[in-house]
Structure 1
Amino acid sequence: MTKNIYLNLLIFTSILLVGFYFTSELKNVWISHLSHLGIMILAGLTLVEFDKGKLPEKEKPEFKINQFIGIVFGIIGLIAVCNLIPVLATKMAGIDITRHPIIIGLNQMVPILISISIFEEILFRRVLAQKIKNTLGITKGIWISAFVFAIAHIYSDTGILPSFIGGVVLAYIYFKTNSIYLSVIAHLFYNIVTYYLLAVFRDKDKLELIYDYPTISLSISFGIILIVGMTKILNKKASR
């Protein structure tokens, strides 16, 4: 069983990497996006042996108000960490990130952000992470699924490290709430805010308000504290 899961992971990741490479070369945003979704569907089907009725078994979700509070803490922290680590890296490298273009406006981007949040959560959390958890345990379910999630973003502008951190946080939310809906909402909120921040960071005057090492470092540290706070809150719920 263990060998099978690692073989499935290899096939799954290979399909994503090859498929995403070709979709990244497409010039039309919408054709590229639809092709991207198609690759995810194909990869997901390999994990369930081309039978949608074989979705990995999961526990029944039970909504608690503290889950919502914990998720808010975690996603705000994730937004700070994942958006400011690249800012810190580009500042240290002397790269002017205000030159990076925004492909399409936020209003046009919303349908893409909604669909990608839904598809990625179903694929990487509901199918991949759940399958790993059921076979290897929750810890490996979180870390391995986050690693694959990061590798799958190798051709995107998101970056491997922010994607890995995001994969860990979103998998943690999913496992501790047993709700794919909450992880989708969290992912969508993160995507929309991040895309908006990318537009803000193009404005040099606005960027200079935070573009110093103390501010960036403090913001990243505050984000990490919020993420840790999320784990504490969700763990309290899980221990009852």
Structure 2
Amino acid sequence: MKSQLSIAILFIMVILLPMIPVSADNPEIDYSSGLTEFTWSGTATTVELIGEWNWDEVTTLSENSGTWSAGLALPEGIYCYKFIVDDEYIFDPTNPYRGYCDNVENSIVRVKDSSRPNFVSDLTNGQLSITFLPGIDGAGPDGTPIGLEAANWDSATMTWTLDTATLTEGKHTLKLELSDTDGNQAYDHLVPFWVGPQSDFTWEDSLIYMIMTDRFINGNQSNDGQSTGAAAGADW
């Protein structure tokens, strides 16, 4: 029997980006200490932090020139949290990410393993720079990621620089995978970018297609389900 068909809405978004910069999640890990740093700025009497890592434990933030901060040693994972400012529970105003824990909306932080390295990428004036950020142990990269063999390497800043003008026109995507010299696997890093006429693409140039199906031809009425008495079209 033909399945009943509800109103189907299909959104197709075609967004072509020359470069997607990837930054650390907010709050960030301090790789010199391995702590996840939470900060809140403003005037208050007390600022506290509570999170999914232990809802029964409240952390008091220290204040310095209007900036309140605390560093926590958290295992890798995704956590809900909120600030408590003068006994009022609030979202982290500097963190746009939200999520629900026990049906309550909270700010969300993704904590990475501080022993694992990261990459940071930037594309300016056709120069693609990839910086290797060591883990807490400070070990450097063990080799060169695939796709950066022709890039210039600066050991002082642990940065590869690639002149994209040497590449063919069109879209390119680098998937950076590498370990450090201690064997710690870096977090994968995708770097999509364009070379040529579309390299100056901006969000304002994005093309969005929206396709909506709101009716169909009922080719065989004999296999329709029993009517619910709803308005025509509402009981598909």
Per the normalisation by structure 2, the TM-score is 0.19
Per the normalisation by structure 1, the TM-score is 0.19
Q: Which has the higher helix share?
A: 1
Structure of greater relative contact order (alpha carbons < 8 Å, 6+ residues apart): 1
Please identify the structure whose Cα radius of gyration is greater: 2
Q: Which has the higher strand share?
A: 2
